[in-house]
C-alpha cells in the first residue's frame, strides 16, 4: 500500500495546532470584587448638619462589573489629610441586595446626612472637618477611601425666634430680633439672608440680606430689632418667607459661607389694596386773551412703579366735584377747555395704579375765569 506524504502531513499539522491551542496559559487570580472607590463625593452644610452625596460604584478595581455592593463606611477626621477610615462615624447598610446586571440603569446617587459634633465647631475660622466614604464588598472588604471633601467647622448662629411679616404699600416688611450671642472673631462676619418662595411654583429667591453689626471685643448678649422690606415681589401671588443667619469666613484667597438653620416660614398673600401716593404740588393757570379760554393744570409726578395714570376732578362753587377725564391721564398735566367767563373752578387730582386702586385727592387749586 502506497501512502501519500501530503495526506499524512495535513492531519498531523492539524493535530499539532489543536494541541497547541489546548495548552493552558498562566492562571488568572480570582476577582476580589472590590468596588472601585467613588471619586465624586460632595458635601454641603446647613446649620450643624452635613449632607454627603456620591455615586454607587458600578465597577470593581479590576474593571469588572460590580455584582454586589456591601455596606458603606462614613469616615471623618479633624486632620486635613485622611489616609484611612479609622473609627467610622457610621456604617450604612448595603444599598441593594439585588445583583447588578450589565446594561442595567445606573444606581441612584447615595446620600448621607449627619450631625457635626459640637466639639468640632471651634471658633477658629480656618478649622475644617474632612469627610470620605469607603464602599465595601459583601465580605466587608474595601479598596480604600473615596475622594476627600472638607467642611468648615465654624460656628453658625441660631435662626431668629420671632419672624413676622406685614404687607404694606411699599412691600412686605419683615421684622425679627437679632441674635444676642454673637462673638467677635477675626475674619468672620455674619448676616441675615431673607428667602422668598413662590408658593405656586416652589421656587426660592434671595430677597435680600441684612448685615449683623460686629460687636466690641468680647461676647455680646443683647439682642436687638432687625427689619427688611421686600419690594421686588409680584402682586397677587402668595409667598413663603424665611430667614437664616449666614456665617462668612474670610480667607486670603477665598470666602466661605455657611448657612444656619431656617426660621419657620411666614406666609404672605400679596393682594394689592394699596393706592399710589397722593399727587402733590397742583397748580392751575388761566389763559384766554385773544383765544378760547382754558385752564392748564400741572402737578408733581407720582413715582410709584405701578402707576397707571391720573383722574382730574373739578367743582364750581358749592357743587359736588365731577371727574373730567373719561380715560386715565398719563402725564402730570391737563388742559380744561370747557370753562366759562365769570366762574371760578376748583380742581384736585388723584393717582390710580394698574390694579385700579385710587389715591386720595390732592390739595385743591382754584382759578377764576375773567
Higher-pLDDT residue of 5 and 46 is 46
Residues written for the chain = 370
Q: What integer best gives the mean pLDDT of the chain?
A: 87
Residue 228: per-residue pLDDT:
97
What percentage of the chain carries pLDDT values higher than 70? 84
* Residue pair 183/159 in contact by the 8 Å Cβ criterion: no
| pLDDT band for position 214 (cuts 50, 70, 90) | low
Measure the CA–CA gap between 336 and 344, rounded to whole angstroms: 13
Lowest-confidence pick of 13-27, 104-118, 216-230: 13-27
Pair type for strands 204-211 and 280-287: unpaired
- Give the three-class secondary structure for 302: coil
| pLDDT band for position 66 (cuts 50, 70, 90) | confident
pTM of the model: 0.77
Residue 12: per-residue pLDDT:
46
Q: Residue 17 pLDDT > 70, yes or no?
A: no
Residue 32: per-residue pLDDT:
77
C-alpha cell at 234: 409680584
Please compute Rg for the chain using Cα positions: 39
Q: Residue 53 pLDDT > 70, yes or no?
A: yes
Give the single-character DSSP code of 142: B
| pLDDT band for position 29 (cuts 50, 70, 90) | low
Domains of the chain: 42-152 (2.60.40.10), 164-269 (2.60.40.10), 280-368 (2.60.40.10)
* Residue pair 180/221 in contact by the 8 Å Cβ criterion: yes
Residue 284: per-residue pLDDT:
97
Listed residue (254, 252, 355) closest to 307, CA to CA: 355
Query: DSSP secondary structure string, 21-86?
Result: HTS--SPPPPP--PBPPPS--EEEEETTEEEEEEPPP-BBTTSPBP-----EEEEEESSSS--S--
* Residue pair 283/298 in contact by the 8 Å Cβ criterion: yes
| Per-residue pLDDT tens digits for 230-288 | 999 999 999 999 999 999 998 888 899 999 999 999 999 999 999 999 999 999 999 98
* Residue pair 84/145 in contact by the 8 Å Cβ criterion: yes
* Residue pair 183/121 in contact by the 8 Å Cβ criterion: no
Residue 117: per-residue pLDDT:
73
Measure the CA–CA gap between 270 and 240, rounded to whole angstroms: 11
Average pLDDT over residues 345-360: 97
Query: DSSP secondary structure string, 315-357?
Result: EETTSPPEE--SS-B-SSEEEE----TT-EEEEEEEEEETT--
Residue 312: per-residue pLDDT:
98
Higher-pLDDT residue of 214 and 236 is 236
Map grid coordinates 468640632 to a residue.
120
Average pLDDT over residues 313-323: 94
Average pLDDT over residues 205-216: 85
Average pLDDT over residues 130-138: 95
- Give the three-class secondary structure for 370: coil
Neighbours of 243 (CB within 10 A): 24
Q: Residue 360 pLDDT > 90, yes or no?
A: yes
Amino acid at each position: 500500500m502506497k501512502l501519500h506524504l501530503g495526506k499524512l502531513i495535513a492531519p498531523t499539522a492539524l493535530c499539532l495546532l489543536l494541541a497547541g491551542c489546548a495548552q493552558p496559559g498562566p492562571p488568572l487570580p480570582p476577582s476580589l470584587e472590590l468596588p472601585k472607590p467613588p471619586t465624586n463625593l460632595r458635601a454641603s452644610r446647613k446649620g450643624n448638619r452635613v449632607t454627603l452625596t456620591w455615586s454607587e460604584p458600578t465597577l470593581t478595581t479590576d474593571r469588572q462589573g460590580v455584582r454586589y455592593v456591601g455596606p458603606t463606611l462614613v469616615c471623618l477626621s479633624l486632620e486635613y489629610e485622611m489616609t484611612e477610615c479609622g473609627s467610622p462615624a457610621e456604617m450604612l447598610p448595603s444599598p441593594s441586595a439585588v445583583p447588578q446586571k450589565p446594561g442595567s440603569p445606573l444606581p441612584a446617587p447615595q446620600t448621607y446626612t449627619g450631625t457635626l459634633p459640637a466639639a468640632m465647631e471651634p471658633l477658629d475660622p480656618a478649622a475644617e472637618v474632612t469627610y470620605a466614604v469607603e464602599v465595601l464588598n459583601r465580605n466587608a472588604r474595601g479598596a480604600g477611601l473615596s475622594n476627600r471633601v472638607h467642611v468648615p467647622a465654624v460656628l453658625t448662629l441660631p435662626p431668629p425666634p420671632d419672624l413676622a411679616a406685614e404687607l404694606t404699600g411699599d412691600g412686605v416688611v419683615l421684622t425679627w430680633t437679632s441674635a444676642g450671642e454673637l462673638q467677635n472673631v477675626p475674619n468672620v462676619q455674619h448676616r441675615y439672608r431673607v428667602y422668598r418662595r413662590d408658593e405656586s411654583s416652589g421656587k426660592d429667591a434671595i430677597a435680600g440680606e441684612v448685615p449683623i453689626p460686629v460687636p466690641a471685643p468680647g461676647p455680646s448678649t443683647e439682642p436687638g430689632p432687625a427689619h427688611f422690606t421686600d419690594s421686588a415681589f409680584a402682586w397677587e401671588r402668595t409667598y413663603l418667607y424665611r430667614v437664616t443667619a449666614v456665617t462668612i469666613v474670610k480667607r486670603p484667597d477665598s470666602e466661605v459661607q455657611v448657612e444656619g438653620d431656617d426660621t419657620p416660614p411666614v406666609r404672605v398673600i400679596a393682594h394689592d389694596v394699596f393706592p399710589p401716593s397722593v399727587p402733590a404740588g397742583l397748580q392751575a393757570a388761566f389763559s384766554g386773551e385773544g383765544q378760547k379760554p382754558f385752564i392748564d393744570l400741572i402737578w408733581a409726578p407720582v413715582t410709584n412703579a405701578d402707576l397707571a395714570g391720573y383722574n382730574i376732578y373739578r367743582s364750581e362753587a358749592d357743587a359736588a366735584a365731577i371727574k373730567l377725564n373719561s380715560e386715565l391721564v398719563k402725564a402730570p398735566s391737563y388742559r380744561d377747555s370747557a370753562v366759562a367767563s365769570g366762574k371760578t373752578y376748583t380742581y384736585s387730582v388723584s393717582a390710580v395704579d394698574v390694579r385700579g386702586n385710587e389715591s386720595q385727592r390732592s390739595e385743591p387749586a382754584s382759578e377764576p375765569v375773567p
